Copies of this chain bind each other. A is one copy, B any other.
Amino acid sequence: MKQILVSDHVRSHPLFAGLTELEKDTLLVQSRLRRCTHGQMLFAQGEPVTHFYIVVRGNIQLFRTNRDGREKTMEVLKSGGTMCECEIMDSCRAHRVNAVAVEDSVLLEFPLTWLKQSARQYEAFTLNLLSLISQHSYLAEVEAEHLASMSSTQLVACFMQRICILYDLNPKGFELPYAKTLIASRLGMSLETFSRTLVTLRDHGITVEGTRVEITDLHRVQQYVCGFCSVAEDCAAHQAIGKEIVFTHEKKA
């Protein structure tokens, strides 16, 4: 029963768009469901790449570790997120990031060769994969640009907007989906700085109390954030991608 639900969700994943149900069966039968508990390591930097993953439930943190021992969170994947497609298609042997479950999570695990073979075999899958990686690449670019051109406070404001769309939260009041420490790390700033921005944000249309967030003045927020964002449709892009990847619930058009 549970298994079937998961399958249904995964079947509507953009990666499988344009495939027949039969083809999806063939592809999905090679997957394995994997559960992991809060704090569990999925794989570590330097370990051989063995699988491709789709997150079904929970949040997975991807991060790198410096020689100094400093950590940088590259990404926090939610349901629908994918892992390792780049490493696999790039024929990179060793993992370039660490992956750890932020909370109890469920993943779908595919053998490495599955991805390469499917990319060869199914035209639609190929294009979906290309599209997925392209989007990912684009987002990375935009993020790098944001990092370079926006202040901490703007970064956080931008994050709040995205989180809201990505997790389908009500802007008028929602809870942060994960710890502030993780968010700060994700945004590449210290926890202290992050904490301070939250106070400042009140002047820009976002009120935060504990883990509760309220976007009080969306217009002001957008003015504040997007003035420094060179990509006009940036937030729109984020939205689109968010909607596509979410498969826990349909969003109205």
Binding site for B on A (CB under 8 A): 45-46, 64-68, 70, 72, 74, 85-87, 89-92, 94, 96, 116, 119-120, 123, 126-127, 129-131, 133-138, 140-141, 143-145, 147-149, 188, 226-233
Chain B residues with Cβ below 8 Å from A64 are 145, 230-231
Shortest A121–chain B CB gap in Å is: 9
Contacts of A68 in B (CB 8 A): 227-228
Interface majority SS (helix, strand, loop, mixed), chain A? helix
21 pairs from A and B in contact (CB 8 Å cutoff): A46-B232, A64-B145, A64-B231, A65-B230, A67-B226, A67-B229, A68-B227, A72-B149, A85-B134, A86-B134, A86-B137, A87-B134, A89-B127, A90-B135, A91-B131, A119-B126, A120-B126, A126-B126, A130-B130, A140-B144, A148-B188
Report the minimum CB–CB distance from A118 to chain B (whole Å). Answer: 11
Q: How many copies does the complex hold?
A: 2
Contact status of A67 and B230, CB under 8 A, knowing A119-B127, A119-B130, A126-B126:
yes
Q: In the complex, A89 Cα to B246 Cα: how many Å?
A: 21
CB <8 Å contact, A74 and B145: yes
In angstroms, Cα B70 to Cα A229, docked, is 10
Q: Is the CB of B127 within 8 A of A130?
A: no
B144–A137 touching, CB < 8 Å: no
Q: A96-B138, A119-B130, A147-B147 are in contact. List 13 more A-B contacts (CB 8 A).
A: A64-B145, A66-B230, A67-B226, A67-B227, A68-B228, A86-B138, A90-B135, A90-B138, A119-B126, A119-B127, A129-B130, A137-B137, A144-B144
